[in-house]
Amino acid sequence: MKNALAQADHAVEALRAERRDDYYPQFHLAPSAGWINDPNGLICINGVYHAFYQHHPYDENWGPMHWGHATSRDLAHWQHQPIALAPGEDDDKGGCFSGCAVDDGGVLTLIYTGHVWLGKAGDDDQVREVQCLATSEDGVHFVKHGPVLTPPDGIQHFRDPKVWREDGEWWMVVGARENGLGQARLYRSADLRDWRFDRLLGGAQAPHQGYMWECPDFFPLGEQHLLLFSPQGLTAQGYRNRNRFQSGYLLGHWRPGHDFTPTQPFCELDAGHDFYAPQTFTAADGRRLLFAWMDMWESPMPSKAHRWAGALTLPRELTLGADGAVRMNPARELTALRREHRTLIPLKLRNQRRPLAEALQELQLTLDLAGSDAERYGVAIGGAARLYVDNQAHRLVLERFSEDPGLCGCRSVALPAGERLSLRLFIDRSSLEVFVNQGEACLTSRIYPADGRRDLSLFAEGGQAQFGDMEGWQLESIWA
């Protein structure tokens, strides 16, 4: 694997020399160059945060999957590391697909899917997928130990292991497809090497519930458990399930040796255009944190012309609200990135547009819903996107604009109850993340301003809007 890793690192360096930074993020994790998708192996071990990710280092398109790697000591500033895993062995020659990381007695251990094309590369009807193990003594260089779990008869699609330790044993949830239906399969082990099937945690009962459940994750939150996964094949229904694929959760009850009992239907986790394959991990102080891939399959990616594609969301903290819904908020460590601060006075607009201070990358504001009768009012980001209240539809809408029709369109959530709406926005060079009412809803979308303008302005159309307290910050780069 050493030669394959050295070649991959060299390829990234060559691409990096050609990279353009018009859209390259300042405070989101992304590869130095090349392609990135799912976050993998998220862990805090020996005082260091590790974020691995699916990576194709040879060009800006999806290809044979490697594991890229970045590290941080504060969850705010990051450093790229050498590529951790490269395909090449008999059981992963088609790619080192998604997986996780665990602390096995102080040893950083990766469990990932070894992917092999049995027919033509790219033919998803002829694949073999097994769960493999790799270890590291220094947290940077890894030794592969081969497969530790193979699929049962009749299952080809069998991937994305997430492992944790509980009740004196190791547990693993794996995404699978059986008879054309997605499922999350649960396994248990005493040593991470020998695994036995425990039960199905959940599965689709009909095609409309997904033909494949990718990237499952299973963890406690509050007094309940969350089965987080990315189902493929859901049908759009009104405002719901508008993306190519979705990510969301089932909330319910579980304890080792028993079935998982959901207490509510599947719920999308983020309502934006670009959010997929979320994976959680625990912070040094025990908080449940999450990264996701901030892109979407089969979506145009203008940054490919700049020799890179893909990024991860900001790290987010998950909590459970009193109403039983998951809350996501930016990790508190991100306040360390704040630099120049602006406080903006409340104002009232009637059929007007008002520029805000330039170069703000984090903005917090409140909207007075009770005191506003405008048909639409909110925030515009250059000519690339608008976030606004639609008073006629009673929804909060994120609308993006582009010369490419594939990057135009709206995503929205119902307006929460109450007289005021709290918004927190993060605007990077090619992305917008919106947190509503301290995490009651989130909308994440890639935006690509052709003219480079990301200046903020407030607007009100078809009436009057009252904007309350506002403050904003410039943010420094995350790259240490």
Place of tokens 């044979």: 64
Annotation marks residue 38 as catalytic: yes
Which of these ranges, 101-110, 122-131, 197-206, 287-296, has the smallest mean pLDDT?
122-131
Q: Cα–Cα distance between 211 and 232 in angstroms, integer?
A: 6
Mean pLDDT of 172-189: 98
pLDDT tens digits for range 29-88: 999 999 999 999 999 999 999 999 999 999 999 999 999 999 999 999 999 999 999 999
Residues contacting 391, CB < 8 A, separation 6+: 372, 373, 374, 375, 376, 377, 463
Query: Confidence band (pLDDT; 50, 70, 90) for 387?
Result: very high
Catalytic residue among 9, 21, 22, 38: 38
> What phi and psi values does residue 128 have, to the nearest 5 degrees?
-130, 130
Alpha-carbon distance values, 396 to 100, 379, 385, 393 (Å): 35, 11, 13, 9
Cβ-contact 317, 330 below 8 angstroms = yes
pLDDT tens digits for range 120-158: 888 888 999 999 999 999 999 999 999 999 999 999 999
Q: Average model confidence (pLDDT) for the chain?
A: 96
230 residue type, one letter = S
Closest CA to 382 of 453, 445, 434, 460: 453
Q: What is the pLDDT of residue 125?
A: 86
Closest CA to 440 of 414, 476, 472: 414
Q: Which residues of 215-225 are buried (b: 16+ CB within 10 A; e: fewer)?
A: bbbbbebeebb
The encoded tokens of residue 208 equal 């409309």
pTM (two decimals): 0.97
Q: What is the pLDDT of residue 324?
A: 83
Q: What is the pLDDT of residue 452?
A: 80
Question: What residue ranges define each of the domains in the chain, with the CATH number in brackets?
Answer: 1-330 (2.115.10.20), 334-475 (2.60.120.560)
The encoded tokens of residue 415 equal 């307006």
Cβ–Cβ contacts within 10 Å for residue 194, how many?
A: 11
Bridging pattern class, strands 308-309 and 34-45: parallel
Mean pLDDT of 161-185: 97
The encoded tokens of residue 446 equal 């890639």
Query: Confidence band (pLDDT; 50, 70, 90) for 200?
Result: very high
Residues contacting 150, CB < 8 A, separation 6+: 130, 131
Q: Around 68, how many Cα atoms within 13 Å sit in the side-chain half-sphere?
A: 26
Closest CA to 163 of 227, 92, 99: 99
Mean pLDDT of 398-410: 95
- Helix then strand then coil, in percent of the chain rounded to 5, is 5, 55, 40
Q: Cα–Cα distance between 310 and 185 in angstroms, integer?
A: 29
pLDDT tens digits for range 406-438: 999 999 999 998 999 999 999 999 999 999 999
